[in-house]
């Protein structure tokens, strides 16, 4: 068995978790100065969640016909990503048009994300052991500032984002780019992620794969620690 010399981590649901829909909507309301009573806020937040409008949150219960094609390619460029998620949000009536863009902007801020409790510890230990690490994410915007704000970027050697390459997981070509960024053969790389289809696609290139559960941070205190048992 090849020794693991590098680890690639997915972003959302793996290293960090997006905030709940209610706090997401509340932050957008605060940013725009729009008022909404708590009962309506809770109802609209639940509707936004069912619509799949929160990136990193639940998938849509039902995709509108006009957005189904966009859903499949949403992470290949920034414009598609924004169009898809603002389009999903517009399925829910909100009291001001500017809220739809404010919601999208909110999810790109560091305040909207919480690292899993063991993320920094595991990354720091991998760095101490000389294991190369990187983030490989299907995403439509630059998440590096979020990683820096939460103190995780200092432990990473690379960051490969789907929209910057016009490719999205499970395309083997994106995994190949990420392995090249680490300077390692795929057989020496472990992919860690919560999506068994997208992240698990790394095995087609010869990488190992470790699944984690996409749970609220308080319910997954040590989901990343098994990584340390798999590397030297």
Q: What is the pLDDT of residue 199?
A: 98
Distance between start and end Cα atoms, the chain = 12
Written as six digits, the tokens of 153 are: 């970027």
121 domain residue, yes or no: yes
Written as six digits, the tokens of 72 are: 């499949």
Domain final residue pick, 112, 137, 152: 112
pLDDT in tens, 143-179: 999 999 999 999 999 999 999 999 999 999 999 999 9
For the chain, percent of residues with pLDDT exceeding 70: 99
Domain final residue pick, 48, 82, 112: 112
* CA–CA separation, 144 and 120 (whole Å): 15
Q: Are 63 and 71 in contact (CB under 8 A)?
A: yes
Written as six digits, the tokens of 127 are: 């760095």
* CA–CA separation, 10 and 164 (whole Å): 15
DSSP string covering 63-115: --HHHHHHHHTTTSSHHHHHHHHHHHHTTS--S-THHHHHHHHHHTSGGGEEE
Residues 10 and 22 in one domain: no
Burial of 116: CB neighbours in 10 Å, binned 0-12, 13-18, 19+:
buried
Residues 12 and 60 in one domain: no
Residues 226 and 135 in one domain: yes
DSSP class of residue 217 equals: G
CATH code at 166? 3.40.50.1000
Residues 101 and 152 in one domain: no
Helix, strand, coil percentages for the chain (3-state, nearest 5): 50, 15, 40
Residues 72 and 154 in one domain: no
Average pLDDT, the chain: 97
1 domain residue, yes or no: no
CA distance to 81, 186, 195, per residue, from 226 (Å): 32, 20, 17
Q: How many domains does the chain have?
A: 2
Residues 200 and 210 in one domain: yes
pLDDT band at 79 (very low <50, low <70, confident <90, very high): very high
Containing structural domain, residue 69:
18-112
How many residues appear in the chain? 232
Q: Are 36 and 214 in contact (CB under 8 A)?
A: no
Residues 101 and 78 in one domain: yes
Domain final residue pick, 59, 82, 112: 112
pLDDT in tens, 44-73: 999 999 999 999 999 999 999 999 999 999
The reported pTM is: 0.96
Q: What is the pLDDT of residue 2?
A: 76
């Amino acid at each position: 068995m090849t020794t693991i010399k590098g680890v690639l981590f997915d972003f959302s649901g793996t290293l960090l978790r997006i905030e709940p829909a209610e706090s997401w909507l509340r932050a957008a309301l605060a940013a725009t100065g729009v008022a909404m009573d708590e009962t309506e806020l809770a109802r609209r937040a639940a509707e936004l969640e069912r619509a799949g409008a929160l990136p990193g949150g639940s998938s849509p219960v039902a995709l509108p016909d006009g957005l189904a094609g966009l859903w499949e390619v949403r992470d290949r460029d920034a414009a598609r990503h924004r169009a898809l998620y603002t389009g999903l949000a517009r399925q829910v009536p909100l009291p001001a048009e500017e809220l739809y863009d404010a919601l999208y902007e909110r999810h790109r801020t560091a305040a909207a994300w919480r690292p899993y409790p063991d993320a920094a510890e595991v990354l720091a230990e991998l760095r101490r052991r000389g294991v190369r690490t990187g983030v490989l994410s299907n995403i439509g915007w630059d998440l590096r500032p979020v990683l820096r704000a939460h103190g995780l970027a200092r432990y990473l050697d690379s960051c490969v984002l789907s929209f910057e390459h016009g490719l999205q997981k499970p395309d083997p070509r994106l995994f190949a780019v990420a392995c090249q960024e680490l300077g390692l053969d795929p057989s020496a790389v472990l992919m860690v992620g919560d999506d068994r289809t997208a992240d698990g696609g790394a095995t087609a290139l010869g990488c190992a794969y470790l699944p984690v559960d996409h749970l609220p941070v308080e319910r997954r205190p040590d989901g990343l620690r098994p990584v340390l048992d798999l590397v030297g």
